[in-house]
Structures are given as C-alpha cells and as structure tokens.
C-alpha cells in the first residue's frame, strides 16, 4: 500500500484515543470548567477509551489459556466466587467501549490474552479464541490469502467483543459482524457450555449477538473469512443532499468491496459537501504484497487531523486534502487487508486535557437529509468540537434482539474532541440526548457502546426489544452475576 493512500483513509473509522487514567468522579462539584483529569492513584481500577469511566474492581485477571477445559474451569471458579460474594463478573478485551460496558463495578473483570486462529480454507471460515484481536486474525489469515469478512475500521478490538456489540465496518454490502459468525461456544451463568448458532440454540445466539457480555462468556467462535484482494478506489465528490441515494446504489450494485463517505465539518459549510470512496477489484490480481502496519504518512495525516481542533482554516485544508488532493494521489492499488489493518493509536491526540468521544447514528437512507438538518441545528449550537464524520452502509440485521439495523441503514460515525471538564461533559450529554431524539424521531437509532448519555426511555424507543432482552437474560442469570456498568445504567431499570 502506498503511504498516501493509507493516509487518506485515516479516520475512516473515526478512530482515536489513548488511556491516561482520567476520572469522571461523581463527587466533583458541578463548577464550570472544573477539570475532570485528576488521577485517582488507585491501582485496582479499570477505565475505557472515553477516559471518563474509571471504576474500582475487585480483581482483574488476565487469562491466556487456549479455548479448552483449563480455561473453562478457571472461568467457572471466578464466576463461582463472584456469585458467592454477590459481586458482578464480566469479560472485556480492548475496553474501547465508552460507557463501562466491559467493566464490572466492584467485581471480577477478566481479559483474555490468547490470539489462537485456526483457518479452514475449504469451509471459508476460521475458529478463533474469543479474546483474539483483529490484528492477530489479519496476521494469521493474510499469509494464506484471506482476511476478515467484516470488522471495525481498526484492528485493536477483540473478536468476541465485536460480536457482543455487533459492530460493523466498511466492507460492503454486509450487515453487522454478527452476520459473518457461524457459531460460538458459550459458558452460561449456570456453568454449562453450549454451542449457539442459527440452527442450534438460536435464541441464545441472537441474544448474545449485540448482548454486551450479559448472557455468558464466549469461549471461541467460528467466523467467515474472505479472500484478500487488490482493490482500486474511486473518489466521488458531490453535494451532501445527493449522498444517500448515490451511496446505496453504489454499494448494492455488486462490484464494490469496501466503501465509506465523508461530510465537510467546517462550520461555515457544515455538511454541505460529501465525498464517497468506493473500492472495486483491480483488473489484475497479481501476487498480493504482505500486509504491513501504519506508515509515516499515516502519522502525518494524523497531524493534519489534529490541527483541525478549533481551527477552521485547518478543517478547510483537511477537506481539500481529502476531496481534491486525494483523488489525484490516492488512486492506486491496495490490498483489502492493508485497508483494515490500522491501529487506533495512529490518531492518539496525546492531550491530557481532552478526550475523543465517538457517537454513531443509524439512519434510514431516505431520511438522511433530515438527519443532516438535525445535526446542523444541534451540533452547531453546542460547544462541542466535531472533528470528523464517516458514513458507512449496513444491511438489515435479522438476528440480534438488540438490533440497530432493522432495515438498511447509513451508519454515521462522529468524532468529537471533548474538553475534560464538568462543563463540557454536561454540554456533551445535552447535545447527545438531543441528537439521539432527533434520530429516533426520523426512524433511526443510536449505537449503544458509546457514552451513556441516552435516557432509558430513549434506549427503549431505539431498541424496542430491550425489555424482552432483559427478561430472557434474567431467566439465564437470575442472580445477575454477568453485569457491567451498561447493565447497571440501563438494563437493571427494565427488569
């Protein structure tokens, strides 16, 4: 892959963030501008990618065993102890979810550390340890000419985590990642191990997909893979109002393999221009170069990205870089695996006073102009600094109980750089609730793994089967052993 092309892709996933141990403490007085960055000094705490979720846990255990009996027995012991003491139990991977979704307050936190990947080229699948990261999956599949079929835009995340949030990416035309999972083994709260798929324990499969680790511990999974290939991009610049129909017809035409869009975020011309980037097969599929990590230009593009902070000329420059310079320098061939093998760290802001906060909204394509109108009103009247929006396409998800794509959706991934103060947090929460409501009002919904700013009523409106999810979870786990901060904030109140 050429440096320039990878640079242009930066932020395709609106990625970002590092971990500095910052704290949003309930006892901070609500004074404008009060800093939320006091390090707690505590050792037994976990945080997530928001840097705003630092929470004490009873114990955090790393388990590196292969997905077999030894691991299962170890997990059973941890669950037994948690149950006996009335403490929560939860497994996490990269903890990039932003509302403590992988943190059990005061409880037993487990992180898997094992990247086992066993490809089956005849079946077009691989068996993978639940805790394997996508970087490990790509490293195992690339040498044999395959890659993940659907994953997020960055390679740091865990494979089971991806299933548990039912993440999506920019490979098209697919539904969320759960659509590519054939089966999994789940250790239930009862201690039994079951296999779940679309034909065996299908109800468990559908609850666990997008079920935020609340139904049991995933041990391993069988996931579909896709041949790696050489792709060439096409850049189409258009008015933002024309984007949705152009994007849907491009990705559903059958020859596009990867696709995303962008909108201009300069305040003066906010959401007026759109860029659509579609990747199709190169005419000749010669020997594919091995996949590599980020290059120098990725870091250079990250600097341009960061220069946008409260700097309107820099936002205009970045848009020119993408919309005008991009098509002239970024039109060469690139492998599919190279496009998705990007770590989050590339865009780390390195600023201890700010944090990157993601939002995501799933919008019916025909209501996309209404969504943009809502964003212009709500975002521009807030104090928040929007750095990026990336647009993706997600096909209907017919499986998961907590589905965010009950029909085809345009996924609108936004990145804000937030000051870490009480004042900014309050403004951000207010803006998020308003954006969520405006999206719900046009038949869309919002993504659950980000900041817990939605109201419970909004969660119920956006996820109409939430109460059914909770009732079924409590049948599986009457002692509520599998709990995390997401359960405490939203689901407990629906029980």
Binding positions for ligand FAD, rule: CB under 6 A: 13, 15-17, 49, 90-97, 101-102, 130, 152-154, 157-158, 160-162, 164-165, 167-169, 212-213, 217-218, 344, 358, 449, 484
If the CB atoms of residues 16 and 435 are measured against ligand FAD, the closer one turns out to be 16
Distance CA 95, CA 10 (A): 21
If the CB atoms of residues 340 and 375 are measured against ligand FAD, the closer one turns out to be 340
Residues whose CB falls within 8 Å of the CB of residue 315, separated by 6 or more in sequence, listed in order: 264, 265, 266, 267, 308
Angstrom distances, CA of residue 441 to CA of 33, 64, 359, 434, 460: 33, 45, 17, 11, 13
If the CB atoms of residues 119 and 171 are measured against ligand FAD, the closer one turns out to be 171
Query: Shortest Cβ distance from residue 147 to ligand FAD (Å)?
Result: 16
User: Closest residue to ligand FAD, Cβ-based?
Assistant: 213
If the CB atoms of residues 161 and 400 are measured against ligand FAD, the closer one turns out to be 161
Distance CA 403, CA 38 (A): 37
Token pair for 170: 């920019």
If the CB atoms of residues 111 and 382 are measured against ligand FAD, the closer one turns out to be 111
Query: Shortest Cβ distance from residue 363 to ligand FAD (Å)?
Result: 15
If the CB atoms of residues 175 and 213 are measured against ligand FAD, the closer one turns out to be 213
Angstrom distances, CA of residue 117 to CA of 120, 124, 129: 10, 13, 7
Query: Shortest Cβ distance from residue 9 to ligand FAD (Å)?
Result: 12
- Phi then psi dihedrals of residue 157, to 5 deg: -75, 160
Distance CA 45, CA 60 (A): 9
Token pair for 401: 């109980």
Which region, left, alpha or beta, applies to residue 95 given φ > 0 means left and ψ of -120 to 50 means alpha?
left
Query: Shortest Cβ distance from residue 451 to ligand FAD (Å)?
Result: 11
DSSP single-letter state for residue 91: E
- Give the burial class of 26: count Cβ atoms within 10 A of its Cβ; 0-12 exposed, 13-18 middle, 19 or more buried: exposed
Distance CA 44, CA 61 (A): 11
Query: Shortest Cβ distance from residue 328 to ligand FAD (Å)?
Result: 27
Q: CA end-to-end span of the chain, whole Å?
A: 50
Query: Shortest Cβ distance from residue 185 to ligand FAD (Å)?
Result: 10
Query: Shortest Cβ distance from residue 134 to ligand FAD (Å)?
Result: 9
Query: Shortest Cβ distance from residue 238 to ligand FAD (Å)?
Result: 23
For the chain, how big is the Rg over CA atoms in Å? 22
Query: Shortest Cβ distance from residue 142 to ligand FAD (Å)?
Result: 20
**∠ CA(162), CA(491), CA(38), 5° rounding?**
75
Around Cβ 245, how many Cβ atoms within 10 Å?
Answer: 12
Distance CA 130, CA 65 (A): 11
Distance CA 235, CA 237 (A): 7
Bond preceding residue 173 cis, omega within 30 of 0: yes
Token pair for 225: 């893979």
- Asked if residues 455 and 476 have their Cβ atoms less than 8 Å apart, the reply is no
Token pair for 186: 């789940």
If the CB atoms of residues 208 and 333 are measured against ligand FAD, the closer one turns out to be 208
Query: Shortest Cβ distance from residue 285 to ligand FAD (Å)?
Result: 26
If the CB atoms of residues 92 and 119 are measured against ligand FAD, the closer one turns out to be 92
Query: Shortest Cβ distance from residue 280 to ligand FAD (Å)?
Result: 21
Query: Shortest Cβ distance from residue 408 to ligand FAD (Å)?
Result: 16
Q: Which position has the token pair 């109002």?
A: 241
């Amino acid at each position: 892959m050429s440096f320039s092309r990878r640079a242009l892709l930066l932020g395709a996933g609106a990625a970002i963030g590092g971990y500095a141990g910052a704290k949003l403490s309930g006892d901070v007085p609500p004074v404008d501008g009060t800093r939320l960055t006091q390090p707690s000094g505590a050792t037994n705490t976990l945080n997530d990618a928001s840097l705003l979720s630092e929470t004490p846990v009873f114990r955090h255990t790393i388990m590196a065993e292969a997905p077999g009996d030894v691991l299962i027995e170890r997990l059973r012991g941890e669950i037994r102890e948690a149950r006996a003491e009335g403490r929560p139990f939860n497994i996490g991977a990269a903890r990039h979810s932003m509302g403590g979704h992988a943190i059990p307050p005061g409880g037993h936190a487990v992180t898997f550390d094992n990247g086992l990947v066993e490809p089956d080229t005849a079946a077009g699948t691989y068996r993978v340890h639940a805790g394997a990261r996508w970087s490990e999956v790509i490293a195992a599949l690339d040498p044999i000419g395959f890659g993940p079929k659907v994953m997020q835009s960055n390679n740091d995340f865990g494979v089971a985590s991806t299933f548990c949030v039912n993440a999506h990416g920019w490979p098209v035309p697919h539904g969320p990642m759960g659509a590519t999972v054939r089966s999994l083994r789940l250790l239930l709260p009862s201690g039994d191990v079951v296999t779940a798929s679309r034909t065996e324990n299908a109800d468990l499969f559908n609850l666990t997909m997008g079920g935020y680790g609340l139904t049991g511990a995933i041990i391993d999974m069988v996931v579909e893979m896709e041949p790696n290939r050489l792709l060439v991009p096409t850049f189409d610049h258009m008015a933002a109002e024309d984007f949705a129909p152009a994007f849907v017809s491009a990705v559903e035409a059958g020859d596009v393999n990867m696709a995303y869009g962008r909108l201009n975020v300069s305040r003066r011309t906010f959401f007026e221009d759109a860029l659509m980037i579609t990747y199709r097969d190169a005419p000749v599929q010669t020997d594919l170069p091995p996949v590599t990590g980020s290059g120098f230009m990725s870091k250079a593009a990250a600097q341009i990205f960061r220069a946008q902070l409260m700097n309107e000329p820099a936002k205009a420059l970045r848009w020119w870089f993408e919309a005008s310079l991009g098509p002239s320098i970024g039109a060469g061939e690139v492998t599919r695996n190279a496009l998705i093998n990007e770590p989050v760290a590339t865009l780390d802001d390195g600023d201890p006073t700010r944090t990157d906060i993601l939002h995501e909204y799933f919008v019916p394509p025909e209501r996309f102009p209404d969504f943009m109108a809502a964003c212009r009103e709500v975002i521009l009247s807030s104090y928040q600094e929007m750095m990026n929006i990336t647009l993706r396409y997600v096909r209907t998800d017919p499986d998961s109980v907590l589905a965010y794509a009950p029909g085809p959706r345009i996924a609108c991934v936004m990145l804000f750089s937030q000051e870490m103060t009480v004042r900014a947090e309050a403004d951000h929460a207010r803006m998020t609730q308003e954006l969520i409501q405006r999206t719900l009002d046009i038949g869309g919904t919002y993504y659950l793994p980000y900041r817990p700013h939605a109201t419970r009523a909004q969660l119920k409106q956006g996820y109409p089967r939430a109460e059914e999810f909770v009732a079924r979870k409590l049948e599986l786990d009457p002692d509520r052993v599998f709990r995390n901060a997401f359960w405490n904030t939203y689901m407990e109140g629906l029980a």
